[in-house]
Amino acid sequence: MLPAQTLNLGPLVLSWTVLLAGAAWLAASTLHDRSARRTGLPPGPHAWALALVALAGSRLAFVASYWREYASAPWAALDIRDGGWSASWGLLAAGGYLLVLWLRRNPWRRPATLGAAAGAGLWLAGTLALQLAQPSQPVALPAWQGVALDARSVHLPALQGQPVVINLWASWCPPCRREMPVLRQARTAHAQVRFLWINQGEAPETVLRYAAAQQLPAADVLLDQDGQLGRLLGQRALPTTLFFNAAGELVALRSGELSAATLAQHLELLQ
């Protein structure tokens, strides 16, 4: 079983990365405000401004790296639900903001720097903890077998020898539906990669009807009516997409919606 990338509270699914970012901002904001009050200053706007500058820098850097994927629909760059961020550039942007405060001798420069240091430290420590929680040995393609819509059985370990992308989805899931065209286009563009859409918990007729409407290949759409594969992998969030290299080892996992850009980012790891 893989370490979950999300915190599951009943029907509510929260990303650990998002929770970590929120905790880092809260720590930064609290220390910034307390430090400002100790020096006789009001809280000031810099905790919010630093967070917005870091987020904007992180997002803009990612969009610039994958501008080809956004070129056909530039407005999609505003949809941050795809999870496309560059954390290092976000930290650099925040550092640039602090540098301007110091160069201008802004009275909030010390509180802002203390807050930013606390937030960045918490973020880096949390990120390291999440990395250490990953399995020490590579996670292999699970020993699971399913039946595709063309009535053929697919045994996952038998696919070793080529990269495999596994998408856990359901037709009632809005982000699953939104990312379907992106995955279908990637399958056409990356013939060397096997894409599998493994439906979680729906009736065969429902899956067949939806797959036909989306023009998904019947041989690559599998049924998992009792959600066994999701439980085996420890992944309850939908959609979840797993990326296995040709050696059958998991190299990336995305809980949440994929855009063309974030899918391209993950596919690079399969090369």
pLDDT confidence band for 235 (50 / 70 / 90) = confident
| Mean pLDDT across the chain | 91
pLDDT confidence band for 234 (50 / 70 / 90) = confident
Domain membership of residue 39 (yes or no) is yes
Assess whether 125 and 153 both reside in one domain. no
Assess whether 166 and 92 both reside in one domain. no
Assess whether 149 and 265 both reside in one domain. yes
Q: Which residues constitute the domain of residue 180?
A: 145-270
d(CA 240, CA 173): 11
Q: Identify the sign of the CA torsion 259, 262, 266, 271.
A: positive
* CB neighbour class for 214 (10 Å; exposed up to 12, middle 13-18, buried from 19): middle
Average pLDDT over residues 182-190: 95
pTM of the model: 0.89
The domain boundary, picked from 107, 132, 157, lies at 132
pLDDT confidence band for 38 (50 / 70 / 90) = very high
Do 28 and 115 contact (CB within 8 A), yes or no? yes
Q: Identify the sign of the CA torsion 30, 91, 68, 217.
A: negative
Assess whether 205 and 228 both reside in one domain. yes
d(CA 9, CA 211): 30
Residue 142: DSSP 8-state: P
- Note the pLDDT of residue 154: 96
Runs of H (alpha helix) within the chain:
16-38, 46-65, 67-71, 87-103, 109-132, 174-189, 204-213, 228-233, 260-267
Assess whether 206 and 172 both reside in one domain. yes
Q: Identify the sign of the CA torsion 115, 107, 97, 82.
A: positive
Domain membership of residue 26 (yes or no) is yes
Assess whether 156 and 113 both reside in one domain. no
Assess whether 164 and 62 both reside in one domain. no
- Note the pLDDT of residue 5: 65
- Note the pLDDT of residue 145: 95
- Note the pLDDT of residue 10: 54
- Note the pLDDT of residue 72: 86
CATH number at 181 reads 3.40.30.10
Average pLDDT over residues 75-86: 91
The count of structural domains within the chain is: 2
pLDDT confidence band for 13 (50 / 70 / 90) = low
Domain membership of residue 138 (yes or no) is no
The domain boundary, picked from 111, 132, 153, lies at 132
Assess whether 126 and 151 both reside in one domain. no
Q: Does the pLDDT value for residue 263 go beyond 90?
A: yes
Range with the poorest average pLDDT among 8-17, 26-35, 72-81, 172-181: 8-17
Assess whether 232 and 196 both reside in one domain. yes
Assess whether 113 and 152 both reside in one domain. no
> Which amino acid does the sequence have at 77?
A
pLDDT confidence band for 19 (50 / 70 / 90) = confident
Helix axes 109-132, 46-65, angle to 10 degrees: 50
Domain membership of residue 137 (yes or no) is no
Domain membership of residue 139 (yes or no) is no
- Note the pLDDT of residue 252: 92
Domain membership of residue 74 (yes or no) is yes
Q: Does the pLDDT value for residue 81 go beyond 80?
A: yes
Closest residue by Cα to residue 170 from 239, 216, 87: 239
Domain membership of residue 140 (yes or no) is no
Average pLDDT over residues 209-217: 95
pLDDT in tens, 101-153: 999 999 999 999 999 999 999 989 998 888 887 777 888 999 999 999 999 99
- Note the pLDDT of residue 132: 83
Assess whether 126 and 175 both reside in one domain. no
Domain membership of residue 234 (yes or no) is yes
Assess whether 82 and 40 both reside in one domain. yes
